[in-house]
């Protein structure tokens, strides 16, 4: 035996045929150290269990997929996305008169939505939106860990696609089954649609609070401007809304809204959407909100009549969800003039009967004050006093003192004054005495006393000097809501078009439209036509007609011997035309 056979090379195994297979030589298993044998077994077991776990996981995953993907909504509906839209009613000059909707939404294509708002939404809601396959796995795990540590839900991990699947195709129930179905749908949506299509639908569909759906409606609701005109701070405010629209509403919880805006601005800076300088500038900028408003309706009487016609023709679904564009014969200028004329006429007619007295009393001599927030609840809808205390606004206040020429009124955060001249009509209420012939009020103390809770209206006059240096008082007049009602319909005689419609004194508190819903006596309704004909024949309001019995024997056969009567079943003798039409005398 030669030396090579006695000392084989460590580079070749003696068990390899010919000794020609190169590898590191290892001693037999039984000759290896225990720790190496143990490690080898553990590696093999780990590999085996990993493969087994993957296989089991695959089977379980497939089972879940098959089970929960049954009866899922068809994502093809997103291709024909048609959300609930706003029906708009326009006047004859293309001025928007009213809106009707379930969800106030104004659709915009993605390229009409500013890049800043798109980037901010992604930075806040789904940073890896353009990288993942519909599910943000990292976000889900991060949220799960945060919620586990907190012992409650403090963070969400849903991607933009998942949120869209939930609001468009699923319910909002909080169950694991719904989350599984949501995940399956999200993956399908991500495969079927581009990221741009998903983002466009999301930004148009999500709820932003205060009845606004989509970013354009949100911009108009909170800031009374288009989404293209929003600054950095306003974009941050809007993007922060969807997480908790009610909690984060700047109208009801300004502190929370500012806190949420700060979080969004920080995310914008961290993700390089804005610079640190821009963030600091936005953080220090004041929040300038638009006045809180309900649905737009500049012509409530006319628009409500049109609404009933539309609902009958197109159904409630068509009216409130299909986004109809309705052009009408209404002229908003005429409508404004008609409203002013009716309100002024009814107030004058009501004042002729006198003042019905204060609405209540509070003992101010004992230091008591009413709850002004409850007396004037609409004040909460305005941030600044000067936005609220405007000419024409009707307020409820408390009389502080009433002297000869002036009465001072406490309105809570400011004060006002009523001159005796503006309340000359306020004699004690008497329906049998016309104020034009009643004794005029000569001093305010004849009508008011300290502590009276009264209604007043702000006049369009310069502020009055107060008792203290630099103090000013709002110019006010005594007001009472008329008991008498009226209506007006203005029709173009050439076309028959209805240009204006008023159904009562106040459409906010009274929905009965007397212009089209009230029943009228045809005879009395026709009397103005008869009187007009008399005037064209030479009669005047002072012309006298004898109110006495009369019998018609030459009338149509079935009415022979007809004897008209006045409502009071009596006759009044010589009567002027003015008196006759005022009291609707049938005989005249």
Residue 427, Cβ density class (10 Å: 0-12 exposed, 13-18 middle, ≥19 buried):
buried
Cβ within 8 Å of residue 547, ≥6 positions away: 566, 571, 572, 573, 574, 575, 580, 585, 587, 588
CA atoms within 13 A on the CB side of 64: 15
The residue annotated as part of the active site, out of 125, 182, 200, 234, is 125
Q: Any catalytic annotation for residue 365?
A: no
Rounded to an integer, what distance in angstroms lies between the CA atom of residue 394 and that of residue 411? 11
Rounded to an integer, what distance in angstroms lies between the CA atom of residue 140 and that of residue 366? 62
Containing 100, the helix (H) or strand (E) segment is: strand 96-100
Q: Any catalytic annotation for residue 339?
A: no
The residue annotated as part of the active site, out of 442, 524, 548, 584, is 524
Closest C-alpha among 507, 219, 141 to residue 338? 507
Rounded to an integer, what distance in angstroms lies between the CA atom of residue 278 and that of residue 303? 45
Task: Give the chain's radius of gyration (CA, Å).
Answer: 40
SS3 158: coil
SS3 544: strand
CB atoms inside a 10 Å sphere around CB 332: 19
Residue 418, Cβ density class (10 Å: 0-12 exposed, 13-18 middle, ≥19 buried):
buried
SS3 81: coil
User: CA angle 533-535-536, nearest 5°?
Assistant: 65
Which are the catalytic amino acids? Answer: 125, 524
């Amino acid at each position: 035996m030669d030396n090579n056979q006695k000392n084989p090379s460590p580079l070749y195994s003696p068990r390899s045929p010919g000794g020609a297979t190169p590898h590191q030589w290892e001693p037999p298993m039984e000759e290896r150290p225990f720790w190496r044998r143990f490690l080898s077994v553990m590696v093999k077991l780990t590999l085996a269990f990993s493969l087994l776990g993957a296989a089991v996981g695959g089977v379980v995953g497939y089972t879940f997929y098959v089970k929960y993907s049954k009866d899922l909504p068809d994502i093809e509906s997103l291709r024909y996305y048609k959300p609930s839209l706003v029906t708009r009613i326009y006047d004859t000059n293309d001025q928007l008169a009213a809106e009707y909707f379930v969800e106030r939404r104004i659709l915009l294509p993605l390229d009409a939505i500013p890049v800043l708002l798109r980037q901010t939404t992604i930075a806040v809601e789904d940073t890896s939106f353009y990288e993942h396959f519909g599910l943000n796995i990292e976000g889900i795990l991060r949220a799960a860990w945060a919620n586990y540590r907190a012992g409650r839900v403090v963070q969400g991990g849903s991607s933009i696609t998942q949120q869209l699947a939930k609001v468009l195709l699923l319910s909002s129930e909080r169950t694991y089954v719904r989350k599984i179905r949501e995940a399956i749908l999200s993956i399908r949506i991500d495969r079927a649609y581009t990221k741009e299509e998903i983002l466009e639908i999301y930004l148009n569909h999500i709820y932003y609070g205060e009845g606004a759906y989509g970013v354009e409606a949100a911009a108009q609701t909170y800031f009374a401007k288009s989404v293209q005109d929003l600054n950095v701070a306003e974009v941050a405010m809007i993007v922060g809304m969807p997480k908790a629209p009610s909690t984060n509403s700047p109208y009801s919880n300004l502190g929370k809204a500012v806190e949420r805006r700060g979080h969004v601005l920080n995310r914008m800076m961290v993700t390089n959407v804005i610079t640190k300088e821009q963030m600091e500038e936005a953080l220090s900028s004041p929040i300038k909100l638009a006045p809180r408003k309900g649905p737009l309706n500049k012509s409530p009487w006319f628009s409500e009549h049109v609404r009933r016609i539309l609902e009958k023709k197109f159904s409630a679904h068509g009216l409130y969800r299909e986004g109809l564009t309705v052009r009408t014969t209404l002229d908003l200028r005429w409508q404004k003039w008609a409203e002013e004329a009716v309100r002024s006429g009814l107030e004058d007619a009501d004042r002729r009967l006198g003042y019905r007295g204060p609405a209540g009393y509070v003992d101010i001599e004992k230091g008591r004050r009413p709850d002004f927030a409850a007396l004037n609840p609409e004040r909460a809808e305005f941030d600044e006093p000067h936005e609220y205390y405007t000419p024409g606004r009707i307020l409820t206040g408390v009389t502080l003192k009433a002297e000869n020429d002036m009465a001072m009124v406490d309105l809570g955060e400011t004060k006002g004054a009523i001159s005796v001249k503006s309340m000359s009509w306020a004699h004690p209420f008497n329906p049998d005495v016309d104020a034009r012939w009643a004794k005029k009020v000569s001093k305010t103390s004849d009508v008011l006393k300290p502590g009276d809770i009264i209604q007043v209206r702000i006049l369009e006059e310069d502020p009055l000097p107060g008792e203290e240096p630099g103090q000013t008082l709002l110019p006010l007049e005594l007001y009472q809501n008329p008991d008498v009602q009226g209506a007006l319909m203005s029709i173009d005689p050439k076309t028959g078009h209805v240009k204006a419609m008023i159904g009562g004194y106040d459409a906010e508190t009274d929905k009965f439209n007397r212009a089209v819903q009230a029943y009228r006596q045809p005879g009395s309704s026709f009397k103005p036509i008869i009187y007009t004909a008399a005037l064209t024949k030479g009669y005047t309001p002072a012309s006298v007609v004898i109110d006495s019995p009369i019998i018609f024997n030459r009338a149509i056969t079935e009415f022979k011997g007809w004897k008209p009567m006045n409502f009071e079943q009596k006759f009044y003798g010589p009567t002027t035309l003015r008196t006759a039409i005022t009291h609707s005398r049938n005989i005249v």
